[in-house]
Amino acid sequence: MIRKTQELLDGAFKRIESAFNVAFGPHWNPWYQLGALSFYFFWIVCISGLYLYIFFDTSINGAYESVERLTVEQWYLGGVMRSLHRYASDAMVVTVTLHLVREFAKGRFRGPQAFSWISGVPLLWLLFAAGIGGYWLVWDQFGQYVAQITTEWLERLPVISDSLARTFLSNATLSDRLFSLLVFMHIAIPLFLLLGMFIHVNRLKLARTEPARGLAIGVVLAMIVLSLLKPAISMAPADMSIVPAEVPLDWFYMNFYPLLDRVDPLYVWLLLAGVTGVLVVLPWLSPSKQTAAAAAVVDPANCNGCTWCFQDCPYEAITIVPHSYKKGMRQALVDPDRCTACGICAGSCPSATPFRHVEELVSGIEIPGYPVDRLLDDAMAKVDTLGGEARVMVFGCDHALAIERIEREGVVALSLPCVGMLPPSFVDYIARQDKVDGVLVSGCCSGDCFYRKGNTWTEERFASQRMPHLRTSAGHDKVKVSWAGIFEGERLAADIEEFRSGLQRKNTAGATQAADETEAAQ
């Protein structure tokens, strides 16, 4: 049931993401940067909140008036900051929720990725607590409603005294000290939220916490325009002697508040506790099929401690330790509890080269389920079937387009667990084969690798920006990269045909030149 739901959601996400790729391009696609956008909105909330705090009066009588002065008299800056504070908070709820659902759809809550999933669950409570508490500080009729309903909800917990709700019974029971406490809580909770966010990404190397610059600029400009066209405003001042007849709910933060008006608040606690519990135990309800035996394995005899695999592992699963038997040398060590068996480390190992003169090709680090000697055998088996003109070998990814679909006369394809496990030396080796005119490497959309960094590291290796570099005497014009999502088969096919056409022109020109040289020699 869980896996079937995953598949349906994943298919929906991929269709939506493909449409956004057309409009924004992969680099600016917001669906690929939901986590980064959440961090971005958090900083917008912090900066705008700091400005508001400078002018905020933390007294019962002064709170509402100070917010009104900011909104009305200083509409060009203070009003915009208040609106930005509100809209960025709402946007963060949206991106965090979509991020959670998308990670579930991708299955990134199991096995080694369970830590990030479980550590993200408490952040939901902190996020909503921070947002709901912010409405109290405005102290208008909406803030009054939120305070009364929330305290009645809180007092249903056995550990909460009913004196909390009595604080909001009348104007006489309110005090300035209460507002000072609320301000303190509204600052402290986001600080705990920030700490939790960094714990959440602790096991991810180079976790993306900033969206693409163009997307970031576009988002903040859109929010500024929205703030000017539809500024956040207050209701009438809070008055505990009256009950507001109607309040406009913020459905982003208060979607469950209508339940508090209709059922016993205890049931709402049970509902939210149940949802939280399911999210926490989800990695065990639907466990990973991967076992510890599938984790990357280090062969000390072929590991020279170069640290390339350590630098490339997206999940901080590799450390460098003293060599097991070579004095003064180092070697890699894999933590199987963190390893996702993506194989990116194997693609970075300098010993994973088919140019080695050995009976059996063994790398310094590789995935037991797909060692480098099998990769070589599978690739050469595909090469042996090549025929026709402008012959191309295509390497793809199991989590992207089903690469086998593009096979036809002159084109063969091999799908890998992650394209990042393909050592550049393999591309060079295949490109030199007599039956091969060119090599095309494909995989997940740029910026959306299933294993986070596979396509990024591959591009950088081919561009000589990351070790190991692609060094090929066959010529870089015989190698092409084309990332393609699961619904971008037509575009990939077009890229392959364009690549083949270029190879054909080169082959024809080369044959003509050779014929001219032969004729001249005669």
pLDDT at 282 over 90: yes
Do 158 and 265 share a structural domain?
A: yes
Beta pairing class for 438-441 and 392-397: parallel
pLDDT of the residue at 172: 66
pLDDT at 97 over 80: yes
List pLDDT tens digits, range 253-272: 999 998 988 899 899 999 99
Cβ neighbors of 112 (< 8 A, separation 6 or more) are 203, 315, 317, 337, 338, 339, 340
259 found inside a domain: yes
pLDDT at 512 over 70: no
CA dihedral of 255, 257, 261, 267, whole degrees rounded to 10: 100
User: Which amino acid is located at 452 in the chain?
Assistant: R
Do 484 and 427 share a structural domain?
A: yes
The count of domains in the chain is 2
Q: How far apart are CA 321 and CA 326, in angstroms?
A: 12
Mean pLDDT, residues 275-294 taken together:
87
Do 343 and 275 share a structural domain?
A: no
Do 107 and 17 share a structural domain?
A: yes
99 found inside a domain: yes
Mean pLDDT, residues 202-229 taken together:
94
262 found inside a domain: yes
Do 396 and 504 share a structural domain?
A: yes
Do 488 and 389 share a structural domain?
A: yes
Least Cα distance to 138 among 84, 69, 193, 42 occurs for: 69
Mean pLDDT, residues 473-488 taken together:
85
Domain boundary pick from 285, 307, 340: 285
The helix/strand/coil state of 421 is helix
| Res. 451 pLDDT band, cuts 50 70 90 | very high
pLDDT of the residue at 16: 93
144 found inside a domain: yes
List pLDDT tens digits, range 42-71: 999 999 999 999 999 988 888 999 999 999
Q: What is the CATH number of the domain that holds 44?
A: 1.20.810.10
Do 204 and 308 share a structural domain?
A: no
Do 343 and 270 share a structural domain?
A: no
Enclosing domain of residue 428: 295-518
246 found inside a domain: no
Do 280 and 299 share a structural domain?
A: no
pLDDT at 280 over 70: yes
46 found inside a domain: yes
The helix/strand/coil state of 401 is coil
The answer to whether 64 and 234 have CB atoms below 8 angstroms apart is yes
List pLDDT tens digits, range 367-415: 998 999 999 999 999 999 998 889 999 999 999 988 888 899 999 999 9
For 322, phi then psi, to 5°, come to -60, 145
Q: How far apart are CA 340 and CA 253, in angstroms?
A: 35
Do 128 and 71 share a structural domain?
A: yes
List pLDDT tens digits, range 133-192: 999 899 999 998 888 888 888 888 876 656 655 665 566 667 778 788 889 999 999 999
CA distances from 391 to 46, 311, 383, 403, 506 (A): 56, 35, 9, 16, 12
Instruction: Give the chain's count of helices (H) and strands (E).
Output: 17, 8
Max CA pair span of the chain = 111
Report residue 194 CA to chain centroid gap. Answer: 17
- Mean pLDDT, the chain, rounded, equals 90
Residue 156 has what DSSP assignment?
T
243 found inside a domain: no
The helix/strand/coil state of 34 is helix
Do 449 and 484 share a structural domain?
A: yes
CA distances from 20 to 23, 400, 401 (A): 5, 17, 17
245 found inside a domain: no
Do 120 and 19 share a structural domain?
A: yes
